[in-house]
Amino acid sequence: MINPDGISMENGQIVNEAAPDPNAALRFEDLTIDDELSLLDRVVRYVRSGIALQRLVHVKMIAETAKTVGSELTVNTLIPLLPPLVVDTESIIRQHLATQILPVSLICMFGHDPDFNPKEETHRSKYKHKHNTNIKYEERGYKIVTSIILNHINTLITDADMDVRKAASDALATLALYIKPEDVSSMILPIPLRMAIDTKPSSTNKDNNSKEKDKDDKNNAKNSNSKPLNSKTKTGPADELRITASNLLADLASVDSSQITPAMVAKFITPTILNLCKNPAFRVRRAAVQAIPRVVHGTLVDDVHRHLLPCFESLAEDGMYRVRKSVGECLVDMSRSLMLLPYCPDANVAAFGGGGGGRKDKGSQRKDTWKDKGSQRKDTFDFSKMDQEKLKTVLMGMRRDTLVPICARLLGDTNRLVRQGMMQFLGPFIASFYPLEGADGGPEDDGIIDLLRGRENENMEGGMGVQFFPHANGMVNRLNPSNLTSLSADSPSIPPQPTLDSTEYLRSHLPAFLEKNLNDAKSLRRILIHRDKHPVSVLDITTVQRVLLPQYVDLATINTGDDTVDSEMRVYCAYSLPAVLLLLGKVGWDTSLKNCFLALITGWDGRKDEMGEPFGVSQVPLPVKRCLASSFHSVCHMLGTQGIRSNSEDKTNRRDLFTIFETHFLKDTDDTVRLNVIRNLISFLTLLSNAKRVRYLPILYEVITGDSMLASKRTNAMNPMVLNWRQRDMVAQILPNLISLYKPSLVRQYLWPIVKILLCDSVNVVRENTEWSLPVLFRIYEVTNCQAEMNNSTNRDDTAGAGGGAGGVSASITAEASKFSADACEEVIMYLQAILLDGKSPVKGNGKSSSSGAFSNRQGFCRVLSAVALALRLKGKELKRRRAGRHNSGIDATHPFQNFNQEEYKHVHHMMTTRLLPLATIMKDDKVANVRLALAKCLRVMPPDIRDNGEIKKILWTLEDEIDTWGGGSSLFLDGGNSPTARDRTNAAAAVAAAAVVAAAKACGGSGDSDSKRSRDREQKKPLQQRDDDSKSLASI
């Protein structure tokens, strides 16, 4: 039987036939793709093509095809295509085939089960370790995977190309999550174990140890750039397979313990890794070192204590400096892995009937040959009798007694590359001593693992938890095998369109920067709460301060003689400073970290010469300033309001934090430094008292409107667009929150002029982001807010002895506040009308007017109305959540559009209905279609009491009908998917009203159909407004 592609088939399967000869002469037909073929037929035909590019393109389509056709056709048609592809002459084809094998395997095993979700399986918690017993395997497909596909993986994993081996290793490690637990040890583990067995002498087995011994720094630097003198120093094929096996075994060890139990890791994987650590080839030893942290995470505690930690200590004194350097790079992962063990079920030997006290069971007897003095364990523990808290205490002691001495030894290593490598990871290693636990005593909930992983909020804008734990996020990813390879059979799902008036629909119209600013504040707040709930071990702090902290502080003023190295070390120090401060707290700041911070930002360690002048001042590297500018607000919040206060000596030397903020950050000449500090300006200002915040406002106004930001718009010949627009855009993004921090008079004096400048910016995105500040302006200008400010000012005057009658003052203040509010709001509206509707854009300093067109200005006015409408719609959405999560951290984690009080809502609503909407409704007949579209979008987000009544309802109905009629031809589309239009809402309301009338008639004993008809006739004869009012009242009932 021949299918439509001309391929021989028998019972739905491909008949074995000779593949096209790749050496045969190509015809024109061979170079073309038949687009009329189905997806399956295309793959079947062109993966056998003699043209490598055609094979590559269609190999990438195998997973998609398998998902489309289902498990039966995948087994019958696609699986037979794999054998020639596994041995394809092109390595890139073999590599991409390896990435397709995993989703194809899942289709074979679970394609018949519509409820199977591969992402739920890969995202299972590492701390629950419960195998999903509800998984339903398709027996034939499972047999195909465990027999045929695993053989293909075995072939690819021993491929000569490194990228092919890596892709196949990732596929095998993730496939281990889906294989039946009882089959893992017999089908998955033997593959890497065979690769690691020393059956053949490697090319480096005969290397003399003397050739691997370190030489001095000068010789190492010289030899690092030279080629090997003989073949003995090269890595042979056997060693390459051992390196691949080492990494794969580490991935398997960190797989969920319901699949690969700690006992299996201790029995099979640990002995193999220990054997690789003694391999003569230093590259194999280095790969084994990098695997140890992940093996520690998945094995027994007793196995870690007796075997893995002594091995790690021994490798820290390895004769090859590259191995020692890798040990230093793995210290952070080792520290994290050790402290994850108490939360891993079955990590102690009690679950497997093993004894404690250092006694070896028969299944794990090994002839360890680690002879180092530090590796001889004199202390013995019975881990089977320890609870979680006791186990945590013991493991923290192991970390202090083992890892800290290793770090100190590597910092003093004779090889400069080892020293510098350890300096690079010193800050993250210190930060790894921060506790992991959450509210429930586990690493989840509000623990650091949850802050780092963010699995539930992977699409969230913002969030800064990872900033405080450098390098730890990578560790969490490495311990999660679901991140090893993507399930390419799963096409990204398109989220359903939110319905009109839903919270999701309203939030979708908000700019991303508002959510980002809010989430950044929430993340910092959660971290500070976590620090208060879970104090750091006193022994850990003492050990860090005694052994590691002096070395870390010295990085701020390091002088190796190489300016490039010095700059890099200072950047590493600055990057991890917030995490180190979080660990050590204010005591660590006062003793050491304050001088470290000042030395980093000023380039001066505080020394003076005999004349009292600063001595030894060095130039501050630009990356250091940029890094510190990004984290300055975090440092201040960790210190608290009391901690940021400075003494008289610091103020005299201009080394207090407020002077640093103003001179070294806010007024820095580098655009990126100013950009980074402006990005987090709101967070810093919320920490200050109101009086201090007010004193900063003139400085902020001067800096923001000065030549360095708004007044200077640099261009060049190659790029005529403005170069520094990102600074102005960042100012526009923080303006809503910045306005919320100040009183109405200060807003009008200092911030409203900035808004006016940005509303006329030449860059469109700057203008659009500035428009979101206008609802907050109207909110601040509410009469009660103005009156509260004037009352406070009067009370201060009375306290100073001004006197005055209370009743008279109150009446005058009310009148003055009303006048101020009316004048300020009128000023805003008149300015908007002038620049957006009347085309009277202010003239710039160069004599040119704004370059934006008139119709785009009218669109901008519609966007302003949308912003005000969304502020009215989102009022109070976060009030309950805010009260529930209140904390005295001083961080304002609120949205500027939320938590309106009643007076503010009425004021903004009044401004919308009386001043803004009348100016917008005249655009219903605008000549430009995009302006009418912008008006329709604006009216759709209006509060229902405005949108669904009166003239606005008729205008919206007309515009939606026009868009619905001409949408395809004019490219006019409304957002919100299948959201109801004004006509749909009216018809639904009429239907509700008619149904209610019929129900009432039946309840009164009326005559059914005739009464219903008469009711419908009466409803149709009613005026539109009256029907709307009736339906609204009935709906409310």
3-state secondary structure 150-215: HHHHHHHHCCCCHHHHHHHHHHHHHHCCCCCHHHHHHHHCHHHHHHHCCCCCCCCCCCCHHHHCCC
What pLDDT, on the 0 to 100 scale, is given for residue 863?
95
How far CA 668 is from CA of 535, 631, 665, 695, 711, in Å, comes to 37, 16, 5, 20, 16
Q: Tell me the C-alpha distance between 141 and 120, whole Å.
A: 21
Q: Mean pLDDT, to the nearest integer, of 607-617? A: 72
pLDDT score of 340:
85
Q: In this predicted model, what pLDDT tens digit does every residue of 26-85 receive, in sequence order? A: 666 667 788 889 999 999 999 998 889 999 999 999 999 999 999 899 999 999 999 999
Q: Model confidence over 256-265: pLDDT tens digits?
A: 888 888 999 9
For 332, the token pair is: 């952070």
- The answer, yes or no, to whether residue 704 has pLDDT greater than 60, is yes
The rounded distance, in Å, linking the Cα atoms of 504 and 427 is 41
- Please name the residues in contact with 202: beta carbons below 8 A apart, sequence gap of 6 or more: 235, 236, 238, 239, 242, 279, 280, 281, 284
Dihedral pair phi/psi, residue 846, rounded to 5°: -90, 5
Average pLDDT (1005-1019) is 46
How far apart, in whole angstroms, are the C-alpha atoms of residue 154 and residue 248? 12
- Report which listed range, 284-288, 613-617, 896-900, 1024-1028, is most confident: 284-288
CA within 13 Å, CB half, 729 = 15
**Does 890 have pLDDT greater than 90?**
no
Range of lowest pLDDT (319-323, 336-340, 787-791, 967-971): 967-971
Residue range 385-403: average pLDDT?
Answer: 89
Tokens of 225: 């750039």
Give φ, ψ of 369 to 5 degrees. Answer: -120, 25
**Amino acid found at 85:** L
- pLDDT given for residue 450 in this prediction: 59
pTM strictly above 0.85: no
Q: What pLDDT digit, counting tens, does each position of 807-852 carry?
A: 445 788 889 999 999 999 999 999 999 999 886 555 444 444 444 4
Q: Beta strands of 814-973 (E only): which ranges?
A: none
Q: Which residue has the higher pLDDT, 735 or 386?
A: 735
pLDDT higher than 70, residue 305 = yes
Instruction: Residue count of the chain, please give it.
Output: 1037
Show Cβ contacts of residue 329 under 8 Å, excluding neighbours closer than 6 positions. 290, 421, 425
Condensed to tens digits (0 to 9), the pLDDT of residues 268-278 reads 999 999 999 99
Phi, psi of 1006 (to 5 degrees): -70, 175
Of 863 and 875, the one with more pLDDT: 863
d(CA 226, CA 234): 13
- The pLDDT of 707-718, averaged and rounded, is 61
What would the pLDDT profile of 329-377 be if each residue is shown by its tens digit?
Answer: 999 999 988 988 888 776 664 433 343 343 344 333 444 444 444 444 5
Confidence of residue 474 (pLDDT cuts 50, 70, 90): very low
CB atoms < 10 A from the CB of 124, how many? 18
